[in-house]
Chains A and B, each alone.
Chain A
């Protein structure tokens, strides 16, 4: 293993409770997977509510979904997928101990995350001017406005919860990029890059489900 030839000795990298770097690495990875399982169920409650109400009000949900901006949503999907690619490459760069590449790829991941958030903000603003924000600013020309209101409430709850996760992800990427610049991950232990990557891919996958459910439900 190249770890043995690295300038930092293994002892400094391994926390007290672990025997060696391999144990520490696999523990951190399993921890992240368990956390992601928790996250799936955290979103799960909202997905359940969506499923219940969509099956109860299919036409209202289709009509409401028609009012979402499928162009911005589509562009955002592409952006997140692209940032996930950068993230995957960043993990590879960490593995190869290519510090410069690693820093740039992490910054790139964060950058496209920020673009995603900006577009999301533009979209939310558009929703506001289109009177699509439940309770505060909601107008619906057709009968039974409360059913599309449930759709839009779920739309804001789900994309909002997702946006919180993207924001956390961006901050994590920036911190990790900063530490990477200080050679923290190119001298033997790149586990933090790996588990941050797992998290970012999770955020991406949630969006892969949100996009068709919220944006494409009304389009044939």
Chain B
């Protein structure tokens, strides 16, 4: 790889002014060049801006809920408004931010670069997926403008089909449409990983981020269509009342729960696997060590994807499911802890005796490990039948999945965004501000969600805005934490925008990382590589002995 390194480096010197590649994928500035682009890198950026909009709306909804919860009597809004707020928060965060987040932004940008390809296998479909996503997002927004939905993100029947007086169908249609963009992305990634790898890049030489995206794509392709069917059935039931989920007409509302969770449990792993992939990249790079247990981490992603399809019944322990079904789902859910544990132990072993650099992406990655461990272990509490009866539908569940989705996925997304930012823009963000933001999100997050574990264990059910006064202290702590968390998210927004124009020029490989994406210029040229790379070795060829000076203090 060294000779290739040198070759690419000289090419870059010729083509660049200093270290900043002038002739890059961002060179064209017209609106048309963005709206008609088939470049995976630009599509990743289109997705970044789009999901940012939905993240903002959903965050504002969360902030309003947290303010409302400051007082036990909840005087700011009606129960109906509160129901709509947590539905906006849930639906937008899940389908319009978390599921697309790492795959469509970082995955789109980095996957072809990582495997030495010029683009994804189907670039036009890739662009189409963005348009479909935007259309789905507009339908969802339309539903909000007309007055919103109050069913919660789970759309449980018979409330959603019969009783809810809100705009269920347009929201369901928005999610239905956005689902097709997810399917297209998944299909594109699967085919790209199979067919577009550079010469010599065998499956067990792939970066772990690629493995995690591959596992995620399998879930996207196989689970999302079931959600589409389910949402279509809900809409038809709501329109015409044919009785498919209505016991009065011979239907069964529990069938809805089975179909919904058959999608939504695997979808939970769409919302964590890509984050695990990012963390594997970052940990290896900033420990300056070959990742420990490469094959185990790669296979554990696949194991999580497969097991994820077999555990949906653990959402239904108190839905009248048979005890035996409950026991089997409980055991299978425990099994998911095995591949998850494999990952955590391997990351930890990678850190052991590594030469650790506490850069911003590394802080996020380390935060991820801690928060994911808490989220994962409390998942075991919930997978245990008897404990779940006690904490089902309480704040304990809320705290658990926020530790996975926000503490895990959003933290990893921020870490990955910082890690690849120099590649995306060609410039470095201010390191000190980055570290402060990472710290603020970590502290703010824990203060927001740790009290909710206690609240849930004490018995406060989710989705209520009026609660006994003795619980107030926990809600006040949580709202205080949410404010800090908010600051932690706004800071990167500001310095990212600043650094995209004025940040220090990064050069092709500011982290001295080993992946193929770092062997091309920053920002990369339109077709990624001037010369298609050839791979001759395993990934993560770091060595702690040959430590490098990352020279970040001066940034």
Residues of A within 8 A of B (CB): 15-17, 23, 26-27, 30-31, 34-35, 37-39, 41-46, 48-49, 52-53, 56-57, 134-136, 144, 146-147, 149-150, 153-154, 157
B233–A38 CB distance below 8 A: no
Q: Is B255 an interface residue (CB 8 A)?
A: yes
Decide: A30 and B250 in contact? CB cutoff 8 A.
no
Q: What's the Cα separation between A134 and B123 when bound, in Å?
A: 43
B53 to chain A, nearest CB (A): 27
Q: Is the CB of A48 within 8 A of B195?
A: no
How far, in angstroms, from A164 to B6 measured CA to CA in the complex? 56
CB–CB A146/B221 < 8 A: no
A52 engages B255 (CB within 8 Å): yes
The answer to whether B196 touches A17, judged by C-beta atoms less than 8 angstroms apart, is yes
Determine whether the beta carbon of A49 is less than 8 Å from that of B250: no
Task: Judge if B222 is at the interface, Cβ distance under 8 Å.
Answer: yes
Known: A30-B190, A38-B224, A53-B251. 15 other contacts (CB 8 A): A17-B121, A23-B196, A26-B195, A34-B186, A41-B222, A42-B225, A43-B229, A48-B259, A49-B255, A134-B240, A135-B241, A144-B250, A146-B249, A146-B250, A149-B250
A64 to chain B, nearest CB (A): 12
* Option from B122, B225, B241, B248 in Cβ contact (under 8 Å) with A39: B225
Q: In the complex the two chains form, is B196's CB within 8 Å of A27's CB? A: yes
Closest residue to A23 on the B side, CB-wise? B195
Most B CB within 10 A of own CB, among A34, A147, A150: A34
Tally chain B residues at the interface, Cβ within 8 Å.
41
Which chain A residues border B71 with CB–CB below 8 Å?
none
Across the interface, which residues of A come within 8 angstroms of B195, CB to CB?
Answer: 23, 26-27, 30
Which A residues are in CB contact (< 8 Å) with B224? 38
A residues within 8 A CB of B119? Answer: 16-17
**How far is A41 from B195 in the complex, measured between Cα atoms in Å?**
24
Which residue on A lies nearest to B241, using beta carbons?
Answer: A135
Bound CA span A44–B248, Å: 25
Contact assessment for A45 and B221 in the assembled complex, using a CB-CB cutoff below 8 Å:
no
Contacts of A31 in B (CB 8 A): 121-122, 187-188, 191
- A-B pairs, top 5 by smallest CB distance, nearest first, are A45-B229, A42-B225, A17-B119, A27-B195, A146-B249
Q: How far is the CB of B443 from chain A (nearest CB, A)?
A: 42
Q: Which residues of A contact B233 (CB under 8 A)?
A: 45, 49, 157
Segment 506-545 of B: residues with Cβ below 8 Å from A: 527
User: Which of the residues A30, A41, A135, A146 comes within 8 Å of B225, measured between beta carbons?
Assistant: A41
Q: Would B250 and A38 count as touching, CB distance under 8 A?
A: no
Q: Knowing A38-B222, A147-B250, say if A45 contacts B230 (CB, 8 Å).
A: yes
A150 touches B196 (CB 8 A): no
Q: Is B550 among interface residues, defined by CB-CB distance under 8 A? A: no
Nearest B residue (CB) for A57: B250
Q: Known: A31-B121, A45-B259, A135-B241. Is A38-B225 also a contact (CB below 8 A)?
A: yes
CB distance from B205 to the nearest CB of A (A): 19
Chain B residues near A26 (CB, 8 Å)? Answer: 195
Roughly how many angstroms separate A42 CA and B195 CA in the complex, as a whole number? Answer: 25
A134 to B258 CA separation, bound complex (whole angstroms)? 24
Cβ contact within 8 Å between A134 and B242: yes
B304 CB, nearest partner CB in chain A, Å:
19
Chain A positions within 8 Å of B226 at CB level: 41-42, 44-45
> Of A23, A42, A135, which one neighbours B242 at CB under 8 angstroms?
A135
Q: How distant is the Cα of A34 from the Cα of B225 in the complex, in angstroms?
A: 12
Within 8 A of A (CB), among B249-266: 249-252, 255, 258-259
Q: Which residues on A sit within 8 Å (CB–CB) of B243?
A: 146, 149-150, 153
Q: B249 touching A49 by the CB < 8 A rule?
A: no
A39: B residues at CB distance < 8 A: 225
A17 and B118 in contact (CB under 8 A), knowing A49-B244, A135-B241, A150-B249? yes
* B98 at the A interface (CB under 8 A): no
Q: List chain A residues, Cβ under 8 A from B252.
A: 52-53, 56
- Which A residues are CB-close (under 8 A) to B371? none
Contacts of B230 in A (CB 8 A): 45
A27 to B258, CA, bound (A): 34
**CA A57 – CA B249 in complex, angstroms?**
12
Q: Which parts of B206-250 form the interface with A (CB within 8 Å)?
A: 221-226, 228-230, 233, 236, 240-244, 248-250
A72→B9 CA distance, assembly (Å): 70
Q: Using Cβ atoms and an 8 Å threshold, which residues of chain A touch B399?
A: none
B183 / chain A contacts, CB cutoff of 8 Å: 38
Q: 20 pairs across A/B with beta carbons < 8 Å?
A: A16-B118, A27-B121, A27-B196, A30-B194, A31-B121, A31-B191, A37-B221, A38-B224, A38-B225, A39-B225, A45-B233, A53-B252, A147-B250, A149-B243, A149-B249, A150-B242, A150-B250, A153-B243, A153-B244, A157-B236
State whether A30 touches B259 (Cβ < 8 A).
no
Q: Complex Cα distance A48/B225, Å?
A: 13
When distances are taken between beta carbons in the complex, the residues of chain A under 8 Å from B122 are: 27, 31
A41 to B266, CA, bound (A): 14
| Nearest-Cβ distance from residue A91 to partner chain B, whole angstroms | 21
Q: A134's closest neighbor in chain B, by CB?
A: B242
The answer to whether the Cβ of B93 comes within 8 Å of any Cβ in the partner chain is no
Render B157-195 as a binary contact track against A, CB cut-off 8 A, 1 for contact. Answer: 000000000000000000000000001001110110011
- Most-contacted residue by chain A among B191, B221, B222 (CB, 10 A): B191
Chain A residues closer than 8 Å to B241, beta-carbon distance:
135
B391 within 8 A of A: no
Q: Which of these, A17, A23, A136, contacts B123 with CB under 8 Å?
A: A17
A42 close to B229 (CB less than 8 A): yes
